[in-house]
Every structure is written in structure tokens, then in C-alpha cells.
Chain A
Amino acid sequence: MMAARFLRRSIPVLRHARCYADAPSGASQMSFTFASPTQVYFKEASVKQVDVPTLTGAFGILPAHVPTLQVLRPGVVTVFNDDGSAAKFFVSSGSITVNADSSVQLLAEEAFPLDQLDVAAAKANLEKAQSEMASASDEAARAEVQINIDANEAIVKALE
């Protein structure tokens, strides 16, 4: 075994050199589109990384991520630009699509930069929602209050 390895190193590279798997070709940039129905934050922009909160967990997306479809949960989306700066947004819900050509479409039902949100108002809404939970009568009302609580909890957690 040692001899074989020694031989391999001493023989000049006549045959094809062993190497790691090929880097994915062409997909060195991702075309990132991030929009809500009323506002566009990124349109086919080139960014380094995007962190998204989804129903199945939070994950980060870099260029050449495997194609996937996910549904968003209320939480914070962090966009890391090419120059290193990070921008944080709060999204209520929505969907994210990563295509094979490394284009990413993040469509949020409502999205706001974190600095536009007020933590005191969020806490007040959270308390109100939690007290409504007790008085919620049927399934649909309870589901609505639960969504309210989840969203407000996520806002409070994001702002602290």
C-alpha cells in the first residue's frame, strides 16, 4: 500500500490527475428577486447569501444551491450582499423558489425592513392575541389567533 502510494506520487502526471468534484459551471452568481405585492426589495440582484425561515426550518441559500420550493414562516430574512453588508427584513409568509439556473425568487406576502417595526407595538399586539386565545370559540378563530400569536412572537424575537 505504501509502495503504491509512493509510486503514484513519483510518476509524472501522465494520466488524468485526480481532483475533487467539478465546481458547478456558470452558476457563480444567483439572480435574487425579493418582492412583496406592494414593494420590490431586490430585483434579479446578485447577492452572496440569503437566510430564510421556512416551515421546515431556517436555511441559507448560496449560489448553486440545489433547486427547491419552500413555504415561509413568520421570521427574519437576512440578505448578505456582495460587499459584505447584511440587510434584514421581517416576512409574514410567502414562498421561495430556487431554480436550477441558480435564480431565487422570494415572494413574501408582507415584508418590511426591521427598522420599520416597533417592538413596543409588537409586544402589545402579542399580549392582546394571547388573551384572545382564551376566548376563541371555533377552529377557524383559534387558527387565526394562533397565526397572530406566531407572527407577533417572531417580530418580538427579531427585534430584541
Chain B
Amino acid sequence: MFARTSALVFLPQCGQVRNMVTLKDITIRLKSIKNIQKITKSMKMVAAAKYARAERQLKPARVYGNGAVALYEKAEIKAPEGVANKHLLIGVSSDRGLCGAVHSNVAKAIKAKIATLTGEGKEVMVVNVGDKLRNILQRTHGNYLLLSCKEVGRKPPTFTDASIVATELLNMGYEFDQGAVIYNRFRSVISYKTDEKPIFSIDTVANSENMGIYDDIDADVLRNYQEFALINIIYFGMKESTTSEQSARMTAMDSASKNASEMIDKLTLTFNRTRQAVITKELIEIISGAAAL
């Protein structure tokens, strides 16, 4: 009998460590997940507000951007085939994370394009707008990076930002023949698609076959026009990209909050079960202790 009581005295401690976590551990975990849920909920609201504003600004920007590329589409400008021409890729993204697959989609598209172009023997350089893109590309394609832009994504992009990017790019002196701006085109709140818009150099446009129908163009006017068009296309890409990014962040934070609340439910159930188990154990101890007397 004495032996049995002492055995019972020792058993509860090893029992709790072996079978389940203590109440204390569950409480700590529950508290931290509740905090995380508060944070993700508030991030979702902030992203929703920014998304509403970005979408409002996107409407005129889309008309503007489509007007800017209208010349290239209607005159069907393309660089001469077969010549080893130099390409320029401008990837538009941002600095901030927690927005789903936005950055990796653009990086994937850029890597695929670099692979095809270097396979054809053409020279490629990449400009990235946004730090996250630089992080992804630097490891494997670091020697293709021409220019990198930071501090993107905190405030909505303006025409001035696009003109700064274009000015720096032109000052780098890389004589490209054609290229593309790769960005995430906004389709709806839950979907976006990686897309690209073409850009051409002054010489390519001037020598393109259909340009003959355009009257009275001298080199100076064409250069001004091309520089303005480059800024417009970059601006268009940036506007679409922010809208996609904010909607992706909204979706990501929403699913994070939902996951967190699921975990909280499960943990609460486990907590209650553990609490009841502890009470039951104590009762058993008391009762069997009393019965032993």
C-alpha cells in the first residue's frame, strides 16, 4: 500500500511530460497566435484601403498607358529579325513582402526571357524597380543587373518616379535596340497576370518599315517622343503593379487571418481538453488518496 501511494506520487509528473504539453505552453502559444491574427487583420485593412486608392488611380493611368503604346501597335513596329540586337528588360515590382507570389512571378518571367534570349545569342540587361526583385535575381543572374531602384511601394507611384527611373536608365548609356517592361497586370481583386509591354530604341522606331507614313518627323522630335513614351510605359507598369500588389497582399493577409483563427479554435479545444484532463487527474489523485486512508 505504501509502495502504491509513493508510485502514484511519482507518476503524475512523468505522465504530463510524456503525454501532452502543459497548460502553460498552450496558453503561451494561444496568446501569440491571437496577436499575430490581430496584426494580419490590421494589415489586411491597410492593404484594402491602399488597394481602393490604387484602383481608382489605375483607371486614368490605363487609358494613358494604352494611348502611349498605341503607336507601337498601330504602326506594328518591330526590331529587325536575325540581327544580334541588345535587349533591355525592366522588371516592375516593389520593396515590400507579404504579398503572395507577386515578386516571384515577375522574377520567373524575367529569368525565362533571359534564358531564351541568351539561347539565341542576344545580349540582355535587366533593370529592376523594387528591392525584392533585386534579392531574387542577384543570386543567379547578378551579372545581368544594370540598374536597381529602391524605396518603391511605400507611397503610390507618380509620373515623377517613372521619369526618374527613365532618366537614370538613359544616363547609364546602355544602347538597347528593343526591350520590354515586365509587370503584373491587374485583372480583378483576386487575380493578376504577369504581362509585358514592348519598348523600342529611337533607331529601331526610325528604321521600322511603317514609319514612312508618319509625316514630318525629325530626329530631335523623335528622341523627345521616345523618351516621353518610355516614361509613360514605365509609369503604366508601375501603376498596374501596385494595384496587383495591394490586392495580393489583401488576399494573403486575409487567408493568414483565417488560418490563424482556425489554429486558435483548434488550440482552444486542446486547451479545454487539457484543462479538464488536469482537473480529472487531480480529482483521481485526491479520491484515490482519500480511499487509501
Contact = CB atoms under 8 A, between A and B. Distances in A.
Given A40-B59, A69-B71, A107 B64 contact: yes
Contacts of A103: 70, 74
Given A67-B213, A67-B214, A35 B228 contact: no
Contact of B221 (A36, A71, A100, A109): A71
B220 to A, nearest CB: 8
B215 A37 contact: no
A97 B217 CA distance: 11
B225 A71 contact: yes
Given A68-B215, A69-B217, A37 B71 contact: no
A36 B65 CA distance: 10
Nearest to A68: B215
A38 B66 CA distance: 14
Interface in B167-218: 213-217
Contacts of B215: 66-68
A121 to B, nearest CB: 21
B221 A105 contact: no
B70 A68 contact: no
Contacts of A107: 64, 67-68, 228, 232
A143 interface: no
A49 to B, nearest CB: 18
A58 to B, nearest CB: 14
A37 B64 contact: yes
B106 to A, nearest CB: 22
B63 A99 contact: no
A128 B264 CA distance: 64
B248 interface: no
Interface in B225-279: 225, 228-229, 232, 235
A99 B221 contact: no
Interface string B28-53: 00000000000000000000000000
A41 to B, nearest CB: 9
B105 interface: no
Contacts of B213: 67, 100
Q: What bracket does the count of chain A residues touching chain B fall in?
A: 20 to 34
Contacts of A40: 59-60, 63-64
B59 A69 contact: no
A40 B158 CA distance: 16
A86 B61 CA distance: 25
Interface string B139-171: 000000000000000000011000000000000
A95 interface: yes
A109 B217 CA distance: 21
Contacts of B67: 33, 35, 97, 105-107
A69 B228 contact: no
B64 A71 contact: no
Interface string B73-88: 0110000000000000
Interface of A: 33, 35-40, 43, 55-56, 66-71, 93-95, 97, 99-101, 103, 105-107, 109
12 contacts: A33-B67, A36-B64, A66-B215, A67-B215, A68-B216, A69-B214, A69-B221, A95-B225, A95-B228, A99-B75, A105-B70, A107-B64
Given A40-B64, A67-B214, 5 more contacts: A66-B215, A67-B213, A69-B225, A100-B74, A101-B74
